[in-house]
Amino acid sequence: MSTHAQTSVGRDAADIPFMDSARLARLASLSRGELESLQLRKLRHQLARLHVSSGYYRRRMNAAGLAPDAIGSLDAFCKSFPLSSKADFLADQTEHAPFGDRLGISRSDVALVNMTGGTSGQGQEIYGRSQRDVHMQGYYHALPWFLAGLRPGDIAVNCVPSGGLTTGGWGPGEGLRIIGATAFHVGGTLSTDAKIDLMLRIGEVNFIYASTNYLHTLTEALLRRGLEPKRAFPTLRTLFIAAEGYPIEWAQRIETLWGCRLQEGYGSTQCAGFGASTCADGAITRAGGRGLMHMFEWETLFEVLHPTTLEPVASGETGELVVTNLAIEGSPVIRFRTGDSARFISYRDTAAGRAWNAIECGTVGRFDDMLKIRGNNVWPSAIDAAVFSYGEVAEYAGRVYTSADGKTEIEMRLALTDAAAAMEPAARERIIEAIRATIKERTNLWMVLTQCQRSELPEFSYKARRWKDERQQGYRL
């Protein structure tokens, strides 16, 4: 077990941010130079603290010949400080269980433990959070919701599973408490139909938070019951989604059905909550294009790098998000490669009038989700975009497998909405063939599509995992 130097944890209450319109207005009014000066001051403070308290980061700074107080610019930091990856953190945890030598606070100051979901298949990172970090997780959740118009006394329904070990399980509750909203935490405790029953009993619902996929599930469940969302919940002002990409056509349909704006945030365990979110324009602009998630750069230093060359991408290009915590005390990340792909938009190319860089809505994905199929690089998010551009689709599941004669085959089971399923067989076949052609257009792959009942497919309560790669099984004797 490694030991960590005692450090000052739980700063003065005046240092803890809260939901204050005046403070946010000041941050929005900063020039780019002023924002970067603020980032640099906070970065130097963080690195000086970690040089004392974290053996992991001290070794990385010493190996690079970096002294925290000698870092003259953000550019110099990004060019000289070594990157960290998930594999680095897992190795550190193995050697210095359970938190690794990067912890950054005394073990006795760990007030909350978070873990990543392990969906990459590589293992779960473990994060120890201080009492202040617990508040900051709440602040990082409250911030985008406050920007989206959530206010004290509003009734908010949180469909994301609460509790457990994930940041997303704890942050929303803290965030809603900080704002002062009246929160109903229904995720992970009630079935979809039971959630709808409770929402109907509540009546005056103002805000719903859900994963992209679960909002789709909730919407389809309402329609199956003959309920039009905007008529069932006329006081709803905001739908807030996160975690997965989506096609523009789906988002437009959602806004029409619910009668309110769709908002989106980007978050992760490494960000300790949300690191970016939409503003008043929403996830889909009034002109019909994709909106932007503006980065909370006074709290998190973001880089968007080419995944191979590790050079910064230009505005409008897609790269890998690299994250540095400027305020988190326990298990902070410094230049961590998230594996998340995002289309970067410079503050110069946004119409918001703020000096905050941004990433495009609805297109954040995972580099490690990619499937190599018949020589093509295929992202599940691209298939989702093709399939859910058709409003007749309720859900789907796919698999890639090796046939008995050694060929790679792709099979998709598709469940249509009740209205589409009731169509004449010829009409249903035309829809399925149109979906198949759209998938081919966007992925260069023909797939075998078969219709099934919605009950035959899983219901995802948070992030969807619709694809299985079974090709190795085809080579087993």
Can you give the CATH number for the domain in which 319 is found? 3.40.50.12780
Closest by CA to 57, choosing from 90, 109, 101, is 101
Residues 214 and 293 in one domain: yes
Residue 244, pLDDT above cutoff 70: yes
Are 54 and 172 members of one domain?
Answer: yes
Q: Is residue 8 part of a domain?
A: no
Q: Is the pLDDT of residue 5 over 60?
A: no
pLDDT of residue 132: 95
* Amino acid 162: pLDDT: 87
- Residue 16 contacts by C-beta under 8 Å, 6 or more apart in sequence? 132, 135, 136, 139
Choose one of 366, 385, 409: the last residue of a domain. 366
pLDDT above 70 (res 118): no
Examine the domain organization and report whether 72 and 190 are in the same domain: yes
Residues 59 and 157 grouped into a single domain: yes
Is the per-residue pLDDT at 74 higher than 60?
Answer: yes
Quote the CA–CA distance of 365 and 342 in Å, as a whole number. Answer: 7
Residue 6 lies in a domain: no
User: What is the tally of helices (H) and strands (E) in the chain?
Assistant: 14, 20
Q: Predicted confidence band at 163 (pLDDT cuts at 50, 70, 90)?
A: confident
Q: How confident is the model at residue 381 (pLDDT cuts 50, 70, 90)?
A: confident
Average pLDDT over residues 98-126: 86
Query: Do 427 and 284 reside in the same domain of the chain?
Result: no
pLDDT at residue 1 above 90? no
The range of the structural domain enclosing residue 442 comes to 371-475
In this structure, of 57-61, 84-88, 108-112, 396-400, the range with the lowest mean pLDDT score is 396-400
Q: For residues 182 and 154, what is the distance between their CA atoms, to the nearest angstrom? A: 6
Q: CB-based contacts of 29: which residues, under 8 Å, 6+ apart?
A: none
Q: Is residue 49 part of a domain?
A: yes
Q: What is the CA radius of gyration of the chain?
A: 23
Domain membership flag for residue 7:
no
Cα of first residue to Cα of last residue in the chain, in angstroms, is 44
Q: Which two tokens stand for residue 362?
A: 């609805």
In a domain, 1, yes or no: no
Q: What is the mean pLDDT of residues 427-439?
A: 93
Note whether 123 and 250 are same-domain residues: yes
Q: pLDDT class for 476, splitting at 50, 70, 90?
A: very low
Residues in the chain: 477
Burial level of 64, CB count in 10 A (0-12/13-18/19+)? exposed
pLDDT exceeds 80 at position 463 = no
pTM higher than the cut 0.75: yes
The verdict on 353 and 380 lying in the same domain is no
Instruction: Give the helix ranges, DSSP H, for 4-65.
Output: 21-29, 32-53, 55-63
Task: Assign residue 418 the CATH number of its domain.
Answer: 3.30.300.30
pLDDT given at position 473: 47
Number of domains in the chain: 2
pLDDT at 344: 98
* 264 φ, ψ (degrees, to nearest 5): -140, 150
How far is the C-alpha of 118 from the C-alpha of 114, rounded, in Å? 12
- 377 and 360, same structural domain? no
Are 81 and 221 part of one and the same domain? Answer: yes
Could you say which of 311, 342, 366 is where a domain stops?
366
Whether residues 353 and 377 share a domain: the answer is no
Q: What separation in angstroms does the CA of 451 have from each of 356, 420, 429?
A: 45, 11, 9
pLDDT at 12: 52
Task: Answer yes or no: do 237 and 264 share one domain.
Answer: yes
With cut-offs at 50, 70 and 90, classify the pLDDT of residue 378: confident
Amino acid at residue number 413: R
Give burial (CB, 10 Å; 0-12/13-18/19+) of 288.
exposed
Average pLDDT in the 317-335 region? 97
Which residue among 347, 366, 385 closes a domain?
366
pLDDT of residue 462: 66
The answer to whether residue 290 sits within a structural domain is yes
The stretch 104-116 carries a mean pLDDT of 95
- Helices 131-147 and 167-179 sit at what angle, rounded to 10 degrees? 70
Which region among 38-47, 336-345, 353-362, 393-402 has the lowest average model confidence (pLDDT)? 393-402
Quick one: pLDDT at residue 429? Answer: 93
What is the band of 372 on the pLDDT scale with cuts at 50, 70, 90? confident
Residue 31 lies in a domain: yes
Backbone angles phi, psi at 192, to 5 degrees: -60, -45
Please name the helix (run of DSSP H) or strand (run of DSSP E) that holds residue 439, with its range, or none. helix 425-443
pLDDT score of 474 more than 60: no
E strand or H helix at 298: none
Residue 317 lies in a domain: yes
CB-based contacts of 88: which residues, under 8 Å, 6+ apart?
Answer: none
Domain check: are 400 and 448 in the same one? yes
Q: Is residue 254 predicted with pLDDT exceeding 90? A: yes
Sign of CA dihedral 15, 27, 21, 238: negative
